[in-house]
Structure 1
């Protein structure tokens, strides 16, 4: 993705934090006609030393798994908090609106997972991430039903080969930071989240409150 130095977050821990906090990502591959093909997929992130591996699955009826099989290189895009920014935050009028957002963009190498036991293990990771209480219910289901459900999906391991983390918070315009923070701190959930990130990145005084 287009990434200028002002918005390039070099700390991989920030990227991993965003990926875990916003796990529904866009998996983007090339289809048989050479066009981009996107599927929203909740991802489980695993760390293997300095490597990052993403686990997910799609319906067997979705041709996306075939595209991964035939062309294993793909892109996974995570979108964090995002919000409009009014030019009213600037002290002068010769300004234009923009949009602020936090995003992680991964290039990945895919490997399909189709063995039932391996898919079951993958699903347990996702259950652990989002609904741990459901684990007991899943284990109690009839094995034949479980096998049908597992047979209806194709899982995949996506090994990250390149990672970009873009934190676009108007860092290069310090004259707008105080007013932008004040506006975001009183806004909707995404705007309040961006206000918190402004504090984390030192764009406003750490003692500032979003309450």
Structure 2
């Protein structure tokens, strides 16, 4: 994605936090006609040894996406964090225009399908442990026949992240707007409040000096 240097978050911990806080992702592959094929799905980010990162998920077997991954394992995954409109009213002068602030992560991945029932069961248990640990007992009590029937209806995959970009667009280069931005966002929608929290996390000042306002 387009990445101006002031918005490029190079700390992998920030990207991982975003992926875990906003796990509903878009998996993008090329179909057999060379066009983008997109599946919207939850993915679990799992850290491995030597700073490796794997995204775990599955799709319904009738969904052709797993066949595209089988034929062309290289794909892209995107995660969208909080986002919101920014009014030019946050600036001390009038020669400004509106914009939209947002946080996003794009991952280039290499896919490996998980098709054997035991391996799919292990993958599902990792997903359950992340989303609803208490459901694990219910899953175990459903019985082997039912479990195998459910497992036959999905294809699991591990998406090994080979590179990623993390973009945090919060007007970092416009310090004169930060105090008003944090006030507006801090009293706004859930997404706006989340952006205000990220401004605080990144150390963006809540007050601007008079010199910065002109």
Instruction: Specify the SS of the correspondent of 1:187.
Output: coil
Q: Structure 1: which 5+ residue stretches go unaligned? A: 207-211
Q: Counterpart of 1:28 in 2: which secondary structure?
A: strand
CA distance in 2, matches of 1:93, 1:19: 37
Equivalences for 1:185-204 in 2 at 5 Å? 185-204=186-205
Query: TM-score, with normalisation over the residues of structure 2?
Result: 0.94
Partner of 2:127: 126
1:7 is aligned to 7
Distance 2:206 2:186 in 1: 13
Aligned equivalent of 1:47: 47
What CA distance in whole angstroms lies between the structure 2 residues aligned with 1:84 and 1:33?
A: 36
Structure 1 residue ranges (4+ consecutive) displaced by more than 4 angstroms after TM superposition: none
CA offset at residue 205 of structure 1? Answer: 4.0
* RMSD (CA atoms): 1.0
Q: SS state of the match for residue 94, structure 1?
A: coil
How far apart are residue 45 of structure 1 and its match? 1.3
> Is 1:28 aligned to 2:60, yes or no?
no
Matched residues, number: 206
Q: Counterpart of 2:6 in 1: which secondary structure?
A: helix
Match of 1:209 in 2: none
CA distance in 1, matches of 2:81, 2:126: 21
Distance of 1:142 and 1:159 partners within structure 2:
32
Give the structure 1 partner of residue 82 of structure 2: 81
Quote the Cα distance in structure 2 between the aligned partners of 1:37 and 1:181: 38
Residues 152 and 128 of structure 1: is their aligned pair in 2 closer, same or farther, counting only changes over 3 Å? same
**Shift in Å, 1:95:** 1.0
Tell me whether 1:57 sits opposite 2:63 in the alignment. Answer: no
1:82-161 aligned at under 5 Å gives the runs 82-161=83-162
CA–CA separation in structure 1 for the residues paired with 2:35 and 2:180:
42
